[in-house]
Structure 1
Amino acid sequence: MFSSISGCEFSDMWAMLLMPLFAAALSAFFLRKSKWGAAVVSVLSATFALVLAMGLLLGESGEASSKSVEIFRLGNFSINFGFLFDEISKNMVFVVCFVGWLIHIFSVGYMDKDDAKGRFFGGLSFFMFSITGIMLADNLFMMFIFWEFVGFSSYMLIAHYADTEYSKMASKKAFIANRVGDFGFLIGIIWCYHVFGTTEFGAIASALKANPSLALTPMALLLICGFLGKSAQFPLQVWLTDAMAGPTPVSALIHAATMVAAGVFMTVRLGVVGLLTPAASAFMVFICSLMAMCAGFWALGQRDIKKTLAYSTLAHLGLMGVAVGLGAYGIAMMHLTMHAFFKAALFLVAGSVIYACHHEQDMFKMGGLAKKMPLTTIAAFLATCSIISVPFFAGYYSKEMILNISLLSLVNEYVNASVSDISGLCRLGASGVFKIATFAFVLIAALLTPLYMARLFFAVFLGKPLSEKASNARENSLFMTLPLVVLGVFSLAGAWGAVLGNLKWLGGKMSALMPSSSQSFMSGSFGWEHFHGMIEGDVLFTWAGTIILVCTVLLILIAYFLYGRGKDKIESDHPIMYHVLEKHGWFDDVYNYYVLKVQQRFAILVNALDLILIQGFAVKGLALISCLFGLVFKSWHVKWVSSYVVWMVLGLLAAFIILAV
C-alpha cells in the first residue's frame, strides 16, 4: 500500500524527531540558569527541524511512504516504531514545524525577562519532539505514546507560573481532563488490536477494504474519546480556557495551532483508514457542531483577551470536527492549517499587547493600541479578517466550505425524502431533523465569529487608551513583531495554493506560500477540488454565501454599536445575560459539585472500607489472629518430657480414632 521510506529520508525523520528531544535534555540539565543558552538551543533545534521538513516536503517522491522497526515483543504481541509519510503527515509536518519555528522566535522576546526561561524552552522543545512523533506515527500504539508525551508537555508548560495557585490548578485540570479522554482512547486502541491483530494504519486500511464490517461503532467511539480530550470538545472542553494560565506562546503553539489540532489530525487519519462508522461520524457532527455554537456564545462573556481566543479555538475545532464527521477530511485539514496560521497570529498578537501593556489581559482596559502598535494591529487585522471569513482570506475558503458541505448534506436529505415544500418537512424523519439541527448549529457558530472577533478588535485597538498601561504601550522588539507579520501574510494568502492551483513555482514544488506536497490532501479527492466541484455554479450555494457575507457585515456593525466605545454594553445593560455567557454552561460548577459532593465522598467511603476491611481485617486482623495462634502453640511447648509424652499419646489416640471410623 505504501512505498518504503529511503534510508536518507528515514535518517532525516529520526533527526527531525530527536533534535528537539536533545535540545530539551540540554536545556533541562545544563542550561536552566543560562540567560540565553536554552533559548538559542531551542530555536536552533526548531530551525533544524524546519529545514529537514522542507527538504522532505520538497523532495522528488510524491508517494506515501512507510518504514518501521520492531521495538518490543511478548509472544504474538509486538509494538513497532515507524514513520508514515503520506499526504496527511506532510500537511501536519509543515504546519507544526513552520508555525512552531515562528513561535519559538516570538518566545525569545516574550520570555526575555523571565527567570525560568531555561525551563520554558526545555518544555517547548520537548513538546516539539512529542507532536512530531504523533504526526509521523505509523500505528496507534506509537501515536498513543507520543500522545501522552504531548499531554505531559502541556501540563508542564501550563504550570510554568507554578508559584500562582491558578496556574497550578489549571495544569492539573488539563492533565486530568485529558486522562479521561485518553483512557477511552487506549481502550479503543486495545480493541482495535484485538479485532485486526495490528494497529498499523496501512494494515488496518487493507483489512477494512477487504471487509468493511470489521469497523465497529463502539470501537470508533472509544477512539474518538482521544479527540474529545485533546481537542477539548463536549464534555471535556473545560480545561482549554484555564490552560491560558500558561505563557502566551504556549497558548499559541499548543492550545491553538498544534496540540489541540492533533485530535483532528487523529480523527482524519481514522476516517481515511475507514475506522469511523456512519454512527460514530454522526456523533462527531452533533457534538462538534453544538460545541462550535456554544463556544461562540461563551466568547462574548469574556473580558480576558486570551480566554476569548480560547473559546474561539473551541468553536473552530468544532467546525473541523463537523468536517471530519461529514467525510470532508481534506477540508478538515485545510481548516486546521488555516486556523493554525490565523489563530497563532491572534494569540501572538494577544501576547504582544499583553507584554506591551505590562501583562494586562482585560480587553476593556486596553484600547487605542492601533496608533501605538501599528505592525501588531496590521497582523491582528489580517488574522481577524481571515477568521471571520472575509473573501479571499485564508480562513474564508475552508470555513465557508464547511458551511457549504453541511448545507449540502441537508439538501441531499431533502432530495432523498422528496420534500418539495415546507409542509413536507415531516417526511424528513429523525435523520432530517438531525441534519437541520447540526446545520443550524454550524451556521450560528459561523455568524457568531465576526461578533466576538470584532468585539476583541474594537476593544483592543480602536478608541482611546482605557488605562495607564495602555497609554504607555509601544511596539515590541523584532523578535515579537516579525513572526506576527509572517503569520499575518499567511492568514491572508495561506489557502491560495490549495484553492487557485496556478501559483506554482520552484519547478512546481511550491504552490503560493506552501510546499505543493503539503497541500495535496487539502485540495485532492477529500478536499477542495472534490467538494467545490459538487457545488460550483449552484444558485443555492451562491445565494447562501452572499447572505452570510451580508450578515457578517451587519454583525460587525452591531459589534461596533455594542463594544466600539470601550465598554461592553451587554455587561453593563444586561448583566444577567452576560452572567449566563460568562459561566459557559456552568460546567465548572457541575464538575466541582461532582468532585466534592460525589467523588470525594465516595473516595472517603472507599478509604474507610480499605482501612477497616483491607488494612484492618485482611492485613492486620489476619496477622493478629496468626500471632494469637502462635502464642497458643508456643504455650504448649513447656519443655517438660512428660507433657510431650501426653501430647504424643493424645495425638496417636486421635489418629487411631480417625482411622477406625
Structure 2
Amino acid sequence: MNPEIFAYALLAFPLLSATAIALGMRRNGALASGISVGAAALILATAGHIIFRLDNFEFNVNWIEFGPLSLDFGFLVDDLAKLMLFVVAFVGFLVHVFSLGYMKEDPNKARFFGGLSIFMFSMLGLVMASSLVTLFIFWELVGFSSYMLIGFYLDKPSAAAASKKAFITNRVGDFGFLIGIAMAIGMFGTVNLTEMNEMVVSGEVAVTTAALGLLLFCGTVGKSGQIPLHVWLPDAMEGPTPVSALIHAATMVAAGVFLLCRTGFLMTADALQVILWVGVATAIYAGLTAVAQRDIKKILAYSTVSQLGYMVAAFGLGTLASLDADHANMHEAVISGGVAAAMFHLTTHAFFKALLFLGSGSIIHACHHEQDIFKMGGLAKKMKITFICFTLGLMALIGTPFISAGFYSKDAILALAFEQNSAAFYLLVFGAFLTTFYMIRLWKIAFFGSPNSENAEHAHENGPVMTVPLILLAILAVVGGFGFIYPEALKPIIEAGEHIAHGEHHTLIAMYGGVAWLVGLAAAFFFFRAGASEDPFKKMLGPVYAVLEKKFFFDELYNFYIAKIQQRVALTLHFLEQIALSGLIIRGAAGVAGLVGIGLKSLHVGSLHQYVYWFIAGLALFWFFAG
C-alpha cells in the first residue's frame, strides 16, 4: 500500500469527525465526544504506523500552476515530521481522554470536541506539509482553531476579547511569514521544501540576505509567543484548560519552533543572531513576569512562553554553530545541533507542560473553577494522585538534576550557549533560577498549608478518566530525557540532542544548572509560606512588583498605541478619503463633468444660423492656438 494513503487517512479522521459533529451532533454531547475521542485514537494508531512501520517518504501532486510556478499539495514525512507527529498524536489523544471528564457537565461539549477535531486536522496537516504554501494554509487553520477554542465560553466577554487578541496578534506575525514565502518564490522559483534545500546545498541558489529568514521567523514570533507578539498567549488561558494543555502548551505554540527547524537551511548568520537574542529576551522576560502572577494557568502560560524562548535560542545557537557544515541533504540539516536541541526540549516540554496544564485543570475542576493559587492551599492531602503527578511535572520543568526529562533537554540548550555565547549562557542560567523560583512558589502555596477558600476546603480527587492521562504523562516527564526509551524511528533527533547534553563540558554545565535549581528552591522556600493567602513579595518589592504584575505594561503600551496613534491615523485617513478622494476627485470630477455637460447641452438650440456662428468661432479659436 502506498504510504501517502496513511497520510491522507491521518487527515481524514479528524476532518470527518469535525464535519459529523458540526452537521448532526451539536445537541448530542455524549455522542460527539465519543466520535472525537475515537478519531483521536485512530490518529494515534495511524501516526504510529507511519512513524514505526514506514520509511521516510515524500509525496506531491500538482495543485495550481501560475506560469512557471507550480504549487504542489503533498506530504514530507522525515525524522523531524515523525517526532512532531508522535508529540501531536500522543498528547492529543491523552487530552481528548482527559476532556471527557473535564467537560462532562458542559452543555456545549459537542462544540468543544468538534473544535478539538478541527485543530487536530490542522496541526497534522502542518506537520506533514511538503511546501511552504501548504504549510501556510494549515498554519492559518491552526490559528482559526485556536481562535474558536479560546473563545469557547460565549458568555464570557474576557474569552471573546482573548480570542480576538490571539487572532489579530497572530495575523501580524503571519503577514511577515507570507511576505517571506513570496520572497522565497522570487529567489527559488518553487516553494517545495526539498527542492529548496537541494538548491541551497548544491549552490544553485545562495541565501545571502537575512531578510528571508527573519520574515519566516515572524510566523514563529506570533505563533510561539516571542517578544513582542507574546501578549496573546497568557490571555488565551480564558479557554477550557484541556485547550490550554493541547494547543497553548504542547503542540500549536511549538509549531513556530517546528517552522524554524523545517526552514533552517534558509537562515544566515545575521538572522540567527536576531533569533538567538529574541529567544533569550523572551525566556527572561516571561520568567520575571511569572513571579508576580496569581492565576495558576497564567503562571503556567508565562512558563510556556519562557520555555519557547529557550527552544528558539537553542535553534539560533546550534544552527549558527553548524551554519558552515556541508549538509548533504535535509536529513543531515535536521540533526544539526540547533534543531536537535530545540526539538529535544520541545518533546520533553510537551510531556511535562501538558501534564502541568492538565494537572491544573484537575485542580480547577476540583476547586469549582477557582484559579487563584492564594485561594487554594492544602490540596496535597485532598488530591494525592494529582499532587504526585503535578510534582513530577514540576520537577521536570525546573530541571531537577538527573531524575527528570527537563534536566537533560535544558542541559542541551545550556551546552550550546556555553560553547557559542557566554552572555546568552549566563542569562539562560538565570532563567533556570527564575523557573525554579516561581514554580516552587506555586507548588508550596497551592498544595500545602490550610485551605484558603470554601472551594479548596471541599476539593477532592477526580476520577480515572482524568487521572490516568496524568499518570502516563508523569512517567514520560521523568524518563523522557533518556534516549534509550524511544523507539528507533524517533531516536535520530532525540539522541543527537542527548549527545549535546552529554558533551565535553557536561559536568560544569550540570553544576551551573544545579546551582540555579538549588538557589531557586531555597529562595522560594524562604520567602513563601505554605498555603499563604497573600504574596509577601507585593510589599517587599513595591513598585517593582507592580511592574512584574502588569507584565512590564506591554498591554497598556499596545492599548495606548491602538487608541491614541493607530485609531487617530485611521480616522485621519478616513477623513481625507471622504473629502479628497470621494468628495473632490470622484464626486468633484463628476460635478465638473455635469456642469460641462449642461453648458454643452445649452448650445444645441436647433438653429442652423446659431451653429454657423459657433463653427466660425471654433475656426477662430483653432487658428489662434495653431498660430
Normalised to the residue count of structure 1, the TM-score between the two structures is: 0.88
CA distance in 2, matches of 1:469, 1:95: 34
Tell me which amino acid in the other structure corresponds to 1:291. T
Match of 2:498 among 528, 533, 540: 528
- The 5-angstrom pairing of residues 225-236 of structure 1 reads 225-236=218-229
The Cα shift of 1:72 comes to 0.5
Give the aligned partner of residue 463 of structure 2: 477
SS in 2 for 1:392: coil
CA distance in 1, matches of 2:464, 2:128: 33
Give the aligned partner of residue 128 of structure 1: 120
Q: Deviations over 1:478-504 (max 9, x none)?
A: 2221111111111111232x1xx3xxx
The Cα shift of 1:577 comes to 2.9
The Cα shift of 1:515 comes to 3.3
CA distance in 2, matches of 1:660, 1:278: 67
The answer as to 2:545 corresponding to 1:578 is yes
SS in 2 for 1:326: helix
Tell me if structure 2 keeps the 8 A contact 1:57–1:515.
no
CA distance in 1, matches of 2:312, 2:276: 7
CA distance in 1, matches of 2:626, 2:384: 108
CA distance in 1, matches of 2:54, 2:126: 24
* Counterparts in 2 of 1:17 and 1:515: CA distance versus 1, 3 Å: farther
* Counterparts in 2 of 1:534 and 1:488: CA distance versus 1, 3 Å: closer
The answer as to 2:624 corresponding to 1:631 is no
The answer as to 2:111 corresponding to 1:119 is yes
CA distance in 2, matches of 1:60, 1:659: 85
The Cα shift of 1:210 comes to 1.8
Tell me which amino acid in the other structure corresponds to 1:384. L
Q: Deviations over 1:121-177 (max 9, x none)?
A: 222111111111111011111111111111111111111123222112211111111
- The 5-angstrom pairing of residues 363-402 of structure 1 reads 363-390=373-400, 391-402=402-413
Tell me if structure 2 keeps the 8 A contact 1:570–1:577.
no
CA distance in 1, matches of 2:578, 2:91: 53
Tell me which amino acid in the other structure corresponds to 1:518. L
SS in 2 for 1:78: strand
SS in 2 for 1:475: coil
Moved more, 566-575 or 331-340: 566-575
- The 5-angstrom pairing of residues 433-452 of structure 1 reads 435-452=421-438
Match of 2:346 among 330, 333, 336: 336
Tell me if structure 2 keeps the 8 A contact 1:110–1:355.
yes
Tell me if structure 2 keeps the 8 A contact 1:216–1:275.
no
Match of 1:181 among 150, 173, 186: 173
CA distance in 1, matches of 2:211, 2:572: 32
Give the aligned partner of residue 202 of structure 1: 194
Tell me which amino acid in the other structure corresponds to 1:555. G
Give the aligned partner of residue 404 of structure 1: 415
CA distance in 2, matches of 1:626, 1:408: 74
Give the aligned partner of residue 329 of structure 2: none
Moved more, 599-608 or 30-39: 30-39
Tell me which amino acid in the other structure corresponds to 1:546. M
The Cα shift of 1:645 comes to 5.9
The answer as to 2:365 corresponding to 1:345 is no
- The 5-angstrom pairing of residues 19-34 of structure 1 reads 19-34=13-28
- The 5-angstrom pairing of residues 210-609 of structure 1 reads 210-211=202-203, 213-271=206-264, 274-327=265-318, 328-390=338-400, 391-409=402-420, 435-496=421-482, 498=483, 501=484, 512=485, 514-524=486-496, 527-529=497-499, 531-532=500-501, 534-535=503-504, 538=505, 541-567=506-532, 568-609=535-576
The Cα shift of 1:341 comes to 0.4
The Cα shift of 1:213 comes to 3.3
Tell me if structure 1 keeps the 8 A contact 2:432–2:516.
no
SS in 1 for 2:73: strand
CA distance in 2, matches of 1:24, 1:394: 34
Moved more, 554-563 or 298-307: 554-563
Give the aligned partner of residue 417 of structure 1: none
Gapped regions of structure 2 (runs ≥ 5): 319-337
SS in 2 for 1:81: strand
The Cα shift of 1:320 comes to 0.5
Tell me which amino acid in the other structure corresponds to 2:122. S
CA distance in 2, matches of 1:623, 1:470: 72
CA distance in 1, matches of 2:198, 2:209: 16
Moved more, 544-553 or 170-179: 544-553
SS in 1 for 2:226: coil
Moved more, 559-568 or 310-319: 559-568
Tell me if structure 1 keeps the 8 A contact 2:150–2:238.
yes
The Cα shift of 1:623 comes to 2.0
CA distance in 2, matches of 1:490, 1:516: 17
SS in 1 for 2:29: coil
CA distance in 2, matches of 1:470, 1:638: 95
CA distance in 2, matches of 1:516, 1:168: 44
The Cα shift of 1:641 comes to 5.9
CA distance in 1, matches of 2:528, 2:392: 20
The Cα shift of 1:314 comes to 0.7
Count residues in correspondence: 604
Tell me if structure 2 keeps the 8 A contact 1:161–1:246.
yes
Tell me if structure 2 keeps the 8 A contact 1:208–1:215.
no
Tell me which amino acid in the other structure corresponds to 2:239. G
* Counterparts in 2 of 1:192 and 1:618: CA distance versus 1, 3 Å: same
RMSD (Å) for aligned C-alpha atoms: 1.9
Give the aligned partner of residue 82 of structure 1: 74
The Cα shift of 1:19 comes to 1.8
Normalised to the residue count of structure 2, the TM-score between the two structures is: 0.92
* Counterparts in 2 of 1:58 and 1:281: CA distance versus 1, 3 Å: same
Q: Deviations over 1:501-529 (max 9, x none)?
A: 3xxxxxxxxxx2x43212322213xx323
SS in 1 for 2:548: helix
CA distance in 1, matches of 2:579, 2:238: 42
Tell me which amino acid in the other structure corresponds to 1:326. L
The Cα shift of 1:650 comes to 5.1
The Cα shift of 1:337 comes to 0.5
The Cα shift of 1:649 comes to 6.1
CA distance in 2, matches of 1:533, 1:266: 26
Give the aligned partner of residue 12 of structure 2: 18
Q: Deviations over 1:331-384 (max 9, x none)?
A: 110100000000000001111111111111101101111111111111101101
The Cα shift of 1:254 comes to 0.8
Tell me if structure 1 keeps the 8 A contact 2:25–2:110.
yes
SS in 1 for 2:266: coil
CA distance in 1, matches of 2:229, 2:271: 18
- The 5-angstrom pairing of residues 613-624 of structure 1 reads 613-624=580-591
The Cα shift of 1:643 comes to 4.7
The Cα shift of 1:660 comes to 8.0
The Cα shift of 1:207 comes to 1.1
The Cα shift of 1:546 comes to 2.9
